[in-house]
Chain A
């Protein structure tokens, strides 16, 4: 019979106890690898400083914090204005270059038009009870979101470290952002 040639001596087969120990070992390794206890991380790079583009990073950051994520938002170039206490209250919506705006570009280019479209947007935000940029920043800070202001851009724009909201981290650069992104489960460039 063919089964006779396939000899598996009993002493070579692992015992039930050995298998159980092996399973436990693998489960421990799996638990360590998946590390359920450590919070997930999200890293956002905010590069834009117009009124419309200030919203996505703040909404996503505060919402991710509500999901239990450790969130870092690295603000660079015009994104820095979102963290600037004074400038964040004066963010503008550009009327030009956006084909979805109700005014043709030739009209949108007239001086003062940005102010008109910004007012329009601000009124819509108010009417819709959408949170303001300042509210979203304060809420995010309360929820533990870390806002970082790129040091190189602070110097480039001639801003002062005291210009930013309390709780904003300064003195950080691209390497910090890369480190955050490398460790993050979600990385976004806005």
Chain B
């Protein structure tokens, strides 16, 4: 598994649509270009939602998504 230097972790465990995406966006906005946000979620929809969001949104790159036991971890880098 590739390791990233995580700048900040966002814990949205227990939160549901649309909060994981919305809070990711709010947190990414506070980061500098190049920094990586780790997102911890329990919402299974976050796999598709965060992937789609990162795909469509300028200035972010989805580095990885991991599906664990009842936890979904996402890594997003701010690119600009």
A contact residues vs B (CB 8 Å cutoff)? 59, 62-63, 65-68, 128-131, 136, 139, 142-143
Contacts and interface: CB of A to CB of B under 8 A. Distances in A.
B16 A66 contact: no
A121 to B, nearest CB: 15
Given A142-B26, A143-B26, A66 B53 contact: yes
Nearest to B60: A68
B17 A59 contact: yes
Contacts of B53: 63, 66-67
A67 B22 CA distance: 9
B14 A66 contact: no
Contact of B25 (A59, A66, A131): A66
Nearest to A125: B16
Nearest to A136: B18
A147 B16 CA distance: 23
B21 interface: yes
Q: Which 8 A-B pairs have the closest CB atoms?
A: A66-B25, A63-B18, A59-B18, A129-B14, A66-B22, A62-B22, A66-B21, A130-B16
Given A59-B18, A66-B22, A66-B24, 12 more contacts: A63-B21, A66-B53, A66-B57, A67-B56, A67-B57, A68-B58, A129-B14, A129-B16, A131-B16, A131-B18, A136-B18, A143-B22
B15 A66 contact: no
Contacts of A66: 18, 21-22, 24-26, 53, 57
B19 interface: yes
Given A68-B57, A68-B58, A131-B19, A143 B14 contact: no
A34 to B, nearest CB: 14
Contacts of B26: 66, 142-143
A176 B46 CA distance: 35
A63 B46 CA distance: 12
Contacts of A139: 19, 22
Nearest to B58: A68
A15 B16 CA distance: 61
B15 A131 contact: yes
10 contacts: A62-B22, A67-B25, A67-B53, A68-B57, A129-B14, A130-B16, A139-B19, A142-B26, A143-B22, A143-B26
A39 to B, nearest CB: 10
Contacts of B24: 66
Contacts of B58: 68
